[in-house]
């Protein structure tokens, strides 16, 4: 169990704060170059290099060559000891007449030095592909916004950024929408005290519809374009719904009752499957990018991997067996993130009693690596453009940490929050990260840079200029 969560029931019975409400919501060596041997007429003045050097008669002294070939043989056939004077005369004659030449074959051109060719090729390659510059990572947030009444509860999920570039955040019993393209803020819904506070929010893949989990165990589905409540899923759970995850038209809900339920929102009888594996509250839910596997984390320190291929197998008493039950964490498992460049790689983070980020092969269930971060891991996000992982933490530094994967070397630590950073959400283009903390502030970080394919002007309009005039959510 992870310490530090506040009781919601006590909040509901307590009195409202007396102070006036604050405004709210915002990425060879090569073989040496060898020109082809030409079959056309040669230019005597041009250098022609091939892979062989053939002697030419025009460059040979035939008499000298005959002498060099036959003289050593005469000495062997007539082994008569020569006088010292005669031997000295022979050496002097060879020096003056032969110029100490011993080579029989002669070549027109001297072979080129191979090192020069390799050096030229290397220099050309360096010029053709310049080194990639290191990305600048801002150490401070772009903007800090007030988010009063944000519930300080580790097990909830109150922040999400949809595909239509609209950010949703639950503050108390109210859900607010902030349009990152225009900077406008609107209130979606405020639930009654009997149903609130809001315990989870999650955008559907279309970026238009949003699911809202409540403390009463109900789940509401809203159309944000018309601000219209489409339907309410009732009696799916017995206690509050703190985690939500979409898989196309399937909305997966996780509750304090330990149940995980797949709901097909298109049909009247919405419950199509129930997963039983957690003994305490389900606080983390994430579908893989392929939609084939579901990861769930709970306050019972368990991490489960569920596979849709097992849903059609024989079930016992309506229950589906998990693919893997992973018990390595020593505290609640809320932070979950599927790797965007390796489909079977999952990162998970443990609470205050564990403080570790673990990496899993979800096909085999093997733990690939474990890193002790030194503090409670509240949320995890992968960089969509680089092999990097961002984590948010609690006591003592309440920081965001950027890690290089797979070395897990710290690239940067981002400070600014004064209390634990409970929630993180990533913009659709993967550049900007929004973080919400128990200090009741919402901060935006340009930590993942700008994708090379995205036009600079568009990136600036969507993630820089929009913050200039808006300091509040409400």
Residues 325-356 pLDDT 10s: 999 999 999 999 999 999 999 999 999 999 99
Q: How far apart are CA 179 and CA 467, in angstroms?
A: 11
Cα(85)–Cα(97) distance, integer angstroms? 18
Residue 55: the pLDDT is 64
**Cα–Cα distance measured from residue 92 to residue 100, given in angstroms and rounded to the nearest whole number:** 10
> Could you read off the pLDDT of 63-93 as tens digits, one per residue?
777 777 776 666 655 666 667 777 777 777 7
Are 417 and 431 in contact, with CB atoms under 8 Å apart? no
Strands 259-264 and 250-255: antiparallel
CB burial of 142-151 (b: ≥16 within 10 Å; e: otherwise) equals bbbbbbbbbb
Alpha helices in 162-282 (DSSP H): none
> Does the pTM of the predicted model rise above 0.85?
no
Backbone angles phi, psi at 374, to 5 degrees: 90, -5
Q: What is the pLDDT of residue 317?
A: 47
Q: Which two tokens stand for residue 282?
A: 């389900």
R_g (Cα) of the chain, nearest Å? 37
Q: For residue 363, give both structure tokens.
A: 């096909």
267: left (phi over 0), alpha (psi -120 to 50) or beta: beta
Using the structure block, give the residue that is written with the tokens 């005369």.
89
Q: How far apart are CA 13 and CA 384, in angstroms?
A: 43
Per-residue pLDDT at 264: 97
**What tokens does 245 get?**
């995850």
- Which parts of the chain sit beneath pLDDT 70? 1-22, 26-60, 71-82, 96-132, 311-320, 451-474
Which has the closest alpha carbon to 22: 172, 211, 226? 172
């Amino acid at each position: 169990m992870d310490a530090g969560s506040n009781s919601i029931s006590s909040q509901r019975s307590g009195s409202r704060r007396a102070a006036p409400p604050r405004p709210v919501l915002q990425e060879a060596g090569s073989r040496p170059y060898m020109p082809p041997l030409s079959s056309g007429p040669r230019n005597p003045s041009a250098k022609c290099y091939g892979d062989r050097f053939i002697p030419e008669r025009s460059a040979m002294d035939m008499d000298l060559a005959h002498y060099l070939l036959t003289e050593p043989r005469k000495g062997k056939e007539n082994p008569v000891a020569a006088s010292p004077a005669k031997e000295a005369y022979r050496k002097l004659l060879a020096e003056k007449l032969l110029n100490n030449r011993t080579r029989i074959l002669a070549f027109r051109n001297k072979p080129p030095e191979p090192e020069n060719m390799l050096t030229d090729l290397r220099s050309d390659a360096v010029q053709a592909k310049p080194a990639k510059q290191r990305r600048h990572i801002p150490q401070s947030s772009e903007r800090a916004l007030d988010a009063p009444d944000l519930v300080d509860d580790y097990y909830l999920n109150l922040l999400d950024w949809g595909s239509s570039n609209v950010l949703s955040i639950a503050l108390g019993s109210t859900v607010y929408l902030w349009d990152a393209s225009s900077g406008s803020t609107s209130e979606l819904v405020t639930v009654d005290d009997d149903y609130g506070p809001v315990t989870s929010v999650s955008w559907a893949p279309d970026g238009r519809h949003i699911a809202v989990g409540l403390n009463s165990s109900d789940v509401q589905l809203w159309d944000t374009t018309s601000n219209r409540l489409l339907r309410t899923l009732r009696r799916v759970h017995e206690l509050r719904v703190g985690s939500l995850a979409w898989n196309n038209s399937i909305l997966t809900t996780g509750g304090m009752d330990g149940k995980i339920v797949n709901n097909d929102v298109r049909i009247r009888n919405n419950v199509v499957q129930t997963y039983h594996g957690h003994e305490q509250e389900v606080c983390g839910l994430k579908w893989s990018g392929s939609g084939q596997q579901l990861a769930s984390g709970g306050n019972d320190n368990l991490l489960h991997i569920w596979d849709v291929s097992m849903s059609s197998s024989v079930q016992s008493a309506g229950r589906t067996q998990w693919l893997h039950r992973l018990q390595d964490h020593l505290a609640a498992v809320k932070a979950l993130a599927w790797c965007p460049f390796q489909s079977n790689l999952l990162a998970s983070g443990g609470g205050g009693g564990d403080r570790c980020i673990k990496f899993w092969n979800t096909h085999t269930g093997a733990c690939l690596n474990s890193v002790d971060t030194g503090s409670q891991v509240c949320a995890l996000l992968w960089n969509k453009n680089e092999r990097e992982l961002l984590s948010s933490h609690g006591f003592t530094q309440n920081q965001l940490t950027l890690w290089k994967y797979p070395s897990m070397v710290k690239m940067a630590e981002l400070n600014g929050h004064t209390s634990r950073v409970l929630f993180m959400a990533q913009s659709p283009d993967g550049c900007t990260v929004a973080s919400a903390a128990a200090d009741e502030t919402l901060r935006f970080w340009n930590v993942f840079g700008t994708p090379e394919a995205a036009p600079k002007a568009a990136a600036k309009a969507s993630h820089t200029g929009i913050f200039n005039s808006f300091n509040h959510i409400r």
